[in-house]
Structure 1
Amino acid sequence: MPTARVVTLAHVAAAAGVNASTASKVLNGDAAVRVGPDTRARILAAAKALGYRPNALARGLRTARSHMLGIAVPQLENPVFPEIILGAETAARERGYSLLISHSGEADGDARLYEALAAVSRVDGLLVATLEDEAVLASALARSTVPFVVINRKLEGIANHVVFDSFAAARVATEHLLSLGHRRIAHLAGRTEGYNGTRRLAGYRAALEAAGLVFDPSLVVAAGYTVEGGEAAIRELLGRGAGFTGIVAATVLTAAGAMKVLHATGLQLPSQMSIVGIHDAAIADMLHPPLTTVRLPLREMGSVATHGLIDLLEGRIGQVECTLPIERLVARQSCAAPLGSRP
């Protein structure tokens, strides 16, 4: 049985017509190497055509680095985080790094969260996407021994982050309901003390006020980012008798929880109640009715954060700060004009 050919740096160098040292420097991203753009392109094309993969162990021995990145996520069951991980893993592979996934869960305190982050402390750099209290997370990260980029939130006093435009996401969701004629719109908020929760609440409120409506705090309930949170929040709102006809949910999971309760209470969607969720995922198409969402670039977040972290590690940049715009509103069947406004 024939054995697979191992492609070495020498093979790439020969195919590109350069010496092995030059090929090595280009493929390892050495900013100091002086080669023309044509030569660089030729080396990269040869490596791709031959299927060259760098030897991570040998590189680590030469550079005292593992060429391993870590990503800490709180919910693997949340469809948001697997998409971010896929974007991060693809970007890491493109740059010659591997990705180690750590499920941090709800760590419930600085010490336990630090322990979760320390589980991936042997990596060169860390991507952090947790739902932990922001003061707790900032404290834990202050003890980190490796460079890191925070994903999906900003933290006071910590520069490196990649976030979505959560303000615009909630504003667009609210504007969609307003355009259909809804005037009593509830908000199932995220954590109202956290970055995304406050930005989405602000976007919701800005859309209402731009339409000449008075913000009513009784229409806002903190739901967090889970199905169970959405269930509890909608029960609380229904119990208040607030008379709303539309809902902006902080995430697709909280929207799913709210829809479950609405169905159980006999309210018909969208004839009696309309709902929009933030984030888009396969589950949105599977709900009944399919859920209108605001799509955010999840894989791009993972990719941008990973490239930024590697650029930090390799000394190309000194800081990572990026706000990703929303992609678009995905209109499905969970929204309609309110009953009283239909012809």
Structure 2
Amino acid sequence: MTKIKDVAKLANVSTATVSRVLSNNYSATPKTRKKVMDAANKLDYHPNALGRQLRTMETKTILIVVPNITNPFFSNVLLGIESVAFENGFQVLLTDTQNQKENEEIIFELLRNKQVDGVILLTARTNATMLNQLSQDYPIVLACEYILNTKIPTVSIDNISSARKMTDHFFQLGHQRVAHITGPMEIVLGRDRLSGYKQSVLEHQPSVDPLLIQVGDYSYESGYQLMEKLLAIQQPPTAVFAASDEMAMGAIKAIKHQNKHVPNDVAVSGFDDIKMARIFEPTLTTISQPAIKIGNKSAQMLLNIINKKEIKKEHIVLEDQLKIRESCGSNIK
């Protein structure tokens, strides 16, 4: 079996240099790196990962926790995390909680047992007290969502202001009956986007009509079902802001099934700017989150914590964009 000293002998370097190169330690020069990699490839040498972990107490692995892997928004966040992780010699382990709190303990055990070096949570739907305690001893970063009154580092957008901006756009187009299909109220994103919607409504009207607020679960199916309810009320909305693109697409389908037109009869917008938003018919007006950048920033922040580097900002708020497309229209009948 090929050993590290065999690679060092062939490359004419020390075993320490081979170790640095194969562990992605960037103190080696490009020339030395090439010599080592060529020798390792020629000898078909593969480092013993378990041995390295025992020596360094590092796994070179980070865990990413998603609440629902079927949600297409998370794919670009994952790409952003993976690109930074791979550049720095880390591998990525992915787990889907499926929005079930009983799955959380598995995550915490991986940290306690040193099976991963750190965790990026793409959900705050967890035991906040336990998470706060763990973050004092283990590297943890929250991305996309956040927990109030915590020092856990976070990367997200301002969901309140972005929801307000989206709702303001409908009022600027002349709509007076603007509805909102929210996310679940036990999730901070659902509460924040509803808050932004209400702030906008109260800036333009004396009160918020509770009939125009329906609570969904971010899925296509809930958007469809809740749009049917909105169309059934005595004074249906002329515009609907859905708290996710999938719910917005479900809402558009329900409108079409009643032989109504989007946006002439009912204008619709979503949130996230998933890939389908640009090719759906009609193309979807939405709030675009910088998903890849959220992933990049959260991964870099986690690696800084793992490497005991100073974090200049514990809470990073990135800029979103209002993407105006066909589904909101520009004229009101």
TM-score, normalisation: structure 1: 0.78
Structure 2 CA distance for partners of 1:116 and 1:241, relative to 1, 3 Å: farther
Amino acid at match of 1:324: L
Alpha-carbon offset, residue 232 of structure 1: 2.7
Question: Which residue of 105, 121, 124 corresponds with 1:114?
Answer: 105
Structure 2 gaps of 5+ residues are 1-5, 41-45
Structure 2 CA distance for partners of 1:235 and 1:60, relative to 1, 3 Å: same
Amino acid at match of 1:91: V
Residues 1:147 and 2:139 are matched in the alignment: yes
Structure 2 CA distance for partners of 1:157 and 1:114, relative to 1, 3 Å: farther
Give the number of aligned pairs. 313
Partners of 2:245 and 2:63 in 1: CA distance: 26
Question: Map of 1:182-261 to 2, 5 A cutoff?
Answer: 182-210=175-203, 212-218=204-210, 219-261=212-254
Task: Please list every run of at least 4 consecutive aligned residues from structure 1 whose deviation after the TM superposition is greater than 4 angstroms.
Answer: 42-56, 142-145
Partners of 2:255 and 2:118 in 1: CA distance: 44
**Can you list the C-alpha shifts for 1:91-110, whole angstroms capped at 9, x where unaligned?**
10112111111121121x3x
Partners of 1:260 and 1:74 in 2: CA distance: 26
Partners of 2:75 and 2:189 in 1: CA distance: 19
Alpha-carbon offset, residue 253 of structure 1: 1.0
Q: Do the aligned residues in 2 keep the contact of 1:151 with 1:163 (CA within 8 Å)? A: yes
**Can you list the C-alpha shifts for 1:271-316, whole angstroms capped at 9, x where unaligned?**
1011111111121123221111111101111111111111111111
Question: Which residue of 64, 71, 75 corresponds with 2:68?
Answer: 75
**Can you list the C-alpha shifts for 1:206-251, whole angstroms capped at 9, x where unaligned?**
33334x3234142111112111221232223223333311111101
Question: Map of 1:5-154 to 2, 5 A cutoff?
Answer: 20=17, 28=25, 43=29, 57=49, 59-107=52-100, 109=101, 111-115=102-106, 118=109, 122-130=115-123, 132=125, 136-139=126-129, 141-142=131-132, 144=134, 146-154=138-146
Alpha-carbon offset, residue 180 of structure 1: 1.7
TM-score, normalisation: structure 2: 0.80
Q: Do the aligned residues in 2 keep the contact of 1:230 with 1:256 (CA within 8 Å)? A: yes
Partners of 2:155 and 2:34 in 1: CA distance: 29
Structure 2 CA distance for partners of 1:206 and 1:156, relative to 1, 3 Å: closer
- CA RMSD after TM alignment: 3.5
Q: Do the aligned residues in 2 keep the contact of 1:280 with 1:295 (CA within 8 Å)? A: yes
Q: Do the aligned residues in 2 keep the contact of 1:294 with 1:329 (CA within 8 Å)? A: yes
Alpha-carbon offset, residue 27 of structure 1: 5.5
Structure 2 CA distance for partners of 1:173 and 1:45, relative to 1, 3 Å: farther
Question: Which residue of 150, 171, 194 corresponds with 1:178?
Answer: 171
Q: Do the aligned residues in 2 keep the contact of 1:169 with 1:278 (CA within 8 Å)? A: no
Structure 2 CA distance for partners of 1:44 and 1:330, relative to 1, 3 Å: farther
Partners of 1:178 and 1:262 in 2: CA distance: 20
Residues 1:322 and 2:316 are matched in the alignment: yes
Structure 1 gaps of 5+ residues are 1-5, 30-39
Alpha-carbon offset, residue 131 of structure 1: 6.7
Question: Map of 1:151-166 to 2, 5 A cutoff?
Answer: 151-159=143-151, 160-166=153-159
Percent sequence identity over aligned pairs: 25
